[in-house]
Amino acid sequence: MTAQDQIKTTVDANDVVLFMKGTKAMPQCGFSSRVAGVLNFMGVEYADVNVLADDGIRQGIKDYSDWPTIPQLYVKGEFVGGCDIVTEMTLSGELDQLFESKGISFDKAAADKIREANG
């Protein structure tokens, strides 16, 4: 199975996937930590893929999305974006709307707390 096949299988098999440096329990870079922190705080169930564990996946995800940086968030098979985009979407409420429209459960009160703390 090629890296592209592995990525597609992972994205298709999980409602929410974060390709990141490290794991959701132990992120290995600040950007990955920020996105994982948002998802964890909001109580979102997601699969984490540690790109540091496999060079094929690390480069493959950049080719797959045509996006040069990691982390990368996917929701219901759709590429959402990296750290800056996810941060902006969280603060604007767009991430809540995306999760609601896709049927992804999350803690709305936690999302509101993030906005309050960063308002």
Which residues are annotated binding-site positions for [2Fe-2S] cluster?
29
**DSSP for residue 27:** B
Distances (CA, A) of 24 to 19, 76, 94, 97, 99: 10, 19, 22, 23, 19
User: Tokens representing 70?
Assistant: 């990691």
Q: Which residues are annotated as a binding site?
A: 29
Cα dihedral 95, 34, 51, 13, rounded to 10, equals -30
Distances (CA, A) of 71 to 2, 7, 99: 20, 14, 18
Residue with tokens 């940086």: 69
- Residue 23's SS3 state is coil
